Structure 1
Amino acid sequence: MGRLIVISNRVGQPDDTRGASVGGLAMALGAALREYNGIWFGWSGRTVETFTGQLSVQRGQGATIATVDLEEQDRDEYYNGYANRTLWPLFHYRIDLSAYERSFNEGYARVNARFAQTVLPLLEPDDFIWVHDYHLIPLARELRRRGVKNRIGFFLHIPWPARRLFATLPLHRELVEAVFDYDLVGFQSHDSLSAFEDYVRGEAEGEIDSGGIAQAFGRRVRLGVFPIGLDADAFMAAARGEAAAAWRERMRVSLAGRRMIIGVDRLDYSKGLEERFLAYEEYLANTPEALEQVFLLQIATPSRDEVEAYQEIRARLDAVTGRINGAFATPDWVPIRYVNRTYRRDELAGIYSMAAIGLVTPLRDGMNLVAKEYVAAQPPEDPGVLILSRFAGAAEQMEEALIVNPFSREEVSDAIEAGLAMPRDERVRRWESLIEGVRRHDVAAWRDAFVEALLAAPCSPADRLATAEP
């Protein structure tokens, strides 16, 4: 078997077992790269005055990291523009925030072409290529135009939107047509797969057979659902480590006999943080006996500060937090501890373990690994309760959580009350089912399922090349 070539917008450090504080991509792909002695290629995060295509290569334990610098215009039009001001809000059902500008689309196409041209010298005939996420949907098309015949798979980490929503995107048909240059396309959930299939049938006049093979635009691609998992054993080992133990002790002192609800998210409008705060306010208003006995710790890591929508959500959350704390706080208690900084995953494991409730309520999410991390960090003898949005991909796997509609303040408030009152026996029963799923559907299972499906997918590069533009 050839090497695994992972291509994503940004690259992580697969040798760092602690990984990033919230995101799970570096952790997940690190395991895959070590398994297949692979290469991870992507943007360095740096900008230069003129694009040169010069590669920077670092070799670590079991994996090679290759990066390229982009121009400032590339960052503005491709990353801040089309990826995060057009596709991200659209794919998360926020068409009111989507910005449709021709220059964004041009930058997106230009950077995908530059990625294809830059990675080309790294490829060998037996390699198989795994492209990740919405930043790089057209990448297979660009590789095929350059004569690449390798198997290429694509995995979408975020949701795929409903057909009518996606059709609001200018040139939506061209973007979906580019998907058909892959051999395999994977989604996080059946909901996203169904939305894509509906588009293929309704807008592209295509067909999907019983084996998951979609046919449209004169080509075929295999479709599948591959829910991403944790590197569960490594995370549980980190939860038993020194950093986690130190944070458990810090939180034990800080709790002062109170009970903690925990939320951990990137600071993003898709995470439903404002709705979460308002639902928690509803709980406090309806449950006076909870005052001074419980608090919400919300860790919200800032991101994409250059995008106006993110500046606006941060300002709104600052205001809502201040208002709720002003209304309910006492001299020695505040109902919301709102923190804008990053913590390592081993540190978070210690914090998770002290929380009576994990509150994971995105308005729309591809998977949400925080839900799985919270479960993995719980003490088996006295676990907390996971409250999970029905609109997170994780809800399809984690049925023993308290599943809620994050748009309903009353429903989330009721779930908080039920979770805090839940008897220990029921908490243990639910946790045992959840942790069994987290361990069974871990990152290795995700990796192996996708790679196996990619290697088994119908592959006819000659047909693709015949239909591709020169």
Structure 2
Amino acid sequence: MVSNRLPVSLERTGDDTWRTHPAAGGLVSALDPVMRRRGGVWVGWPGIADETTDTLRDVLDTHHNADSAYRLEPVALTAQDIAGFYEGFSNEVIWPLFHNRFTACRFEPEYWQVYQQVNREFARRINEVARADDFIWVHDYHLVNVADELRALGLYNRSSFFQHIPFPTADIFCNLPWWREIVYALLSYDFIGLQTVTDRVNLLDVLTTLFDHVETTADDDCVDVEIGDAGLEPHQHRLRIGTLPISIDYDHIAELAGSRRTAEYIERFREGWHGRTVMLGVDRLDYTKGLPEKLEAFREALTRYPELRTRISLQQHVIPSRQQVPQYAEQKEQIERLVGEINGEFTESGWVPIHYIFHSMEPAELMAHYQVADIALVTPLKDGMNLVAKEYCAATRDNNGVLILSEFAGAAAELGDHALLVNPHDVIATAERIHEAYYMDRAERQSRMQAMREIIQAHNAFDWVEDFLRAAGANSTNLQKQ
């Protein structure tokens, strides 16, 4: 397993003392339980700069590897690496471009140079620890070049790539000055997994934009691609692309939702709402999450439907993220200004319309908020999947909840028949959906929620992994490509 971040972060607390923290994020949430069940090696950066590989390996051996079902292998990065690779190319080029925010991109040539350098370093570490028959699974947009770098090192293990974020249309993607290099790097993978059919179609469009001879053969959720153009390396002519939406560890979420620790939080939270309807938002600080649009939609709902005032409150949790990036700091200021405006406009004695909290949460606290909420408002402008939507459903054990979901979240392809879908740019229509959710009768709420829970339970994180490995041919004999 290869990802930008390991599932634990390291912190130096003294000359010879260290502390570990669980890493946050949807990727870790989905993959950690799988690795605990299957075993293997996970290669990634442990969240601390300017330490040697030997030091990081010794710390991980002591604090994780000694009693874990799988092994962590660190990639050592400098502060300069992180600035150019992660904060630069990954977050100021690929992230906004792939989320249709072309105007937010900073196409700095230095970012591209550092991105290639760091991908090369990841490949070196994989080459050091991989055995001849290992299957290599690389995750997400930070590490597109890894397979190409592995080929350059002479490592021809079967390798696959899964992209957790959307894949853009060809006209957006080709604005990237290095789009051709990215495509050639992707062709070094044997298999590429994407979240939705739309993502797969977009990638195929990019391939047909670059190459004259592209033939495809569809097979269930996968497409076999053969490129006939001259000039490609032998291993770049054939590729398999699959639609494999990621999921969650349903049983773990359900168990945590029913824990004593969660029950203590639930009791405390319910006392504070005095029987009012609670609409919940849980979003990482990011301009792709549609937070200003969500707040404007709630303002519109309170304006159009005055009877909702004092009866419903929006509890909006924003998880800190990338605050050193100027656009994220600006987004936080905009959100807090809107919260102040709306609360100033509508607050009445004993009732505040928006309860805004900027913080991180422990899992039991999050599960409690899911269960106290009558409505979840999940309205990203663009999202690869959005696991919050699935976690909310899995945690709603009494089935008595309504999910309002953006049609631009990958989860809409699976849950859209039972969630209330919205276009988050349309604040009036979203306000109408809030009104509909508030007045939905219990029988319909439970019917819709039960259906979504069954869908998620029937295809959990472990099923997703098995489907991916099967589609990628990971269980077949490794083929040496010459």
One-letter amino acid of the counterpart of residue 194, structure 2? F
Preserved CA contact (<8 Å) 2:157 2:480? no
Q: What are the superposed Cα offsets for residues 134-186 of structure 1, whole Å, 9 maximum, x if unpaired?
A: 00000000011111121111000000011100000001011011001111100
- Where 1:297 maps in the other structure, the secondary structure is strand
Q: Is residue 207 of structure 2 the alignment partner of residue 200 of structure 1?
A: yes
CA-CA distance at 1:330 after TM superposition: 2.1
One-letter amino acid of the counterpart of residue 31, structure 2? L
CA-CA distance at 1:119 after TM superposition: 2.4
Aligned mate of 1:299, from 317, 330, 353: 317
Preserved CA contact (<8 Å) 2:8 2:46? no
Q: Is residue 230 of structure 2 the alignment partner of residue 213 of structure 1?
A: no
- Work out the CA distance in 2 between the residues paired with 1:462 and 1:151: 8
- Work out the CA distance in 1 between the residues paired with 2:293 and 2:244: 29
Tell me the residue number matched to 2:35. Answer: 33
Q: Is residue 471 of structure 2 the alignment partner of residue 443 of structure 1?
A: no
Tell me the residue number matched to 1:386. Answer: 403
Kindly report the root-mean-square deviation, in angstroms, between the aligned alpha carbons of the 2 structures: 2.0
- Where 1:153 maps in the other structure, the secondary structure is strand
CA-CA distance at 1:379 after TM superposition: 3.3
- Where 2:168 maps in the other structure, the secondary structure is coil
Q: What are the superposed Cα offsets for residues 417-447 of structure 1, whole Å, 9 maximum, x if unpaired?
A: 0011111111111111100001011001101
Q: Is residue 82 of structure 2 the alignment partner of residue 75 of structure 1?
A: yes
- Work out the CA distance in 2 between the residues paired with 1:53 and 1:180: 33
Preserved CA contact (<8 Å) 2:376 2:392? yes
CA-CA distance at 1:202 after TM superposition: 2.4
Tell me the residue number matched to 1:3. Answer: none
Tell me the residue number matched to 1:189. Answer: 196
- Where 2:131 maps in the other structure, the secondary structure is coil
Matched residue pairs, number? 453
One-letter amino acid of the counterpart of residue 172, structure 2? L
Tell me the residue number matched to 1:468. Answer: none
CA-CA distance at 1:65 after TM superposition: 1.3
- Where 1:70 maps in the other structure, the secondary structure is coil
Tell me the residue number matched to 2:15. Answer: none
Q: Is residue 414 of structure 2 the alignment partner of residue 397 of structure 1?
A: yes
Q: 1:248/1:52 Cα in 2 relative to 1: closer, same or farther (>3 Å)?
A: closer
Aligned mate of 1:326, from 337, 341, 344: 344
Tell me the residue number matched to 2:5. Answer: 10
- Normalised to the residue count of structure 1, the TM-score between the two structures is 0.93
Aligned mate of 1:272, from 286, 290, 299: 290
- Work out the CA distance in 2 between the residues paired with 1:269 and 1:319: 15
Tell me the residue number matched to 1:409. Answer: 427
Tell me the residue number matched to 1:169. Answer: 176
- Work out the CA distance in 1 between the residues paired with 2:22 and 2:390: 15
CA-CA distance at 1:461 after TM superposition: 6.1
Q: List aligned pairs for 1:61-210, cutoff 5 A.
A: 61-205=68-212, 206-210=214-218
Aligned mate of 1:354, from 355, 365, 372: 372
CA-CA distance at 1:74 after TM superposition: 0.5
CA-CA distance at 1:214 after TM superposition: 1.8
CA-CA distance at 1:73 after TM superposition: 1.1
- Work out the CA distance in 2 between the residues paired with 1:375 and 1:69: 38
- Work out the CA distance in 2 between the residues paired with 1:20 and 1:334: 33
- Work out the CA distance in 1 between the residues paired with 2:22 and 2:83: 27
Tell me the residue number matched to 1:45. Answer: 47
- Work out the CA distance in 2 between the residues paired with 1:401 and 1:8: 31
- Work out the CA distance in 1 between the residues paired with 2:98 and 2:152: 27
One-letter amino acid of the counterpart of residue 96, structure 2? P
Aligned mate of 1:230, from 235, 245, 248: 248
Preserved CA contact (<8 Å) 2:135 2:474? no
Q: 1:353/1:52 Cα in 2 relative to 1: closer, same or farther (>3 Å)?
A: closer
- Work out the CA distance in 2 between the residues paired with 1:347 and 1:19: 16
Preserved CA contact (<8 Å) 1:267 1:302? yes
Q: Is residue 240 of structure 2 the alignment partner of residue 245 of structure 1?
A: no
- Normalised to the residue count of structure 2, the TM-score between the two structures is 0.90
Q: Which runs of no fewer than 5 residues in structure 2 stay unpaired?
A: 10-20
One-letter amino acid of the counterpart of residue 225, structure 2? A
Q: What are the superposed Cα offsets for residues 277-310 of structure 1, whole Å, 9 maximum, x if unpaired?
A: 0000000011111111110001111101111111
- Work out the CA distance in 1 between the residues paired with 2:37 and 2:240: 24
One-letter amino acid of the counterpart of residue 88, structure 1? W
After superposing the two structures, state which structure 1 stretch, 434-443 or 453-462, moved more.
453-462
Preserved CA contact (<8 Å) 2:288 2:383? yes
- Work out the CA distance in 2 between the residues paired with 1:336 and 1:424: 24
- Where 1:343 maps in the other structure, the secondary structure is coil
CA-CA distance at 1:246 after TM superposition: 1.4
- Work out the CA distance in 2 between the residues paired with 1:220 and 1:165: 25
- Where 1:182 maps in the other structure, the secondary structure is coil
- Work out the CA distance in 2 between the residues paired with 1:338 and 1:20: 24
- Work out the CA distance in 2 between the residues paired with 1:305 and 1:461: 44
Q: 1 or 2 for the larger relative contact order (CA 8 Å, sep ≥6)?
A: 1
Q: Is residue 307 of structure 2 the alignment partner of residue 289 of structure 1?
A: yes
- How much identity, in percent, do the aligned residues show? 38
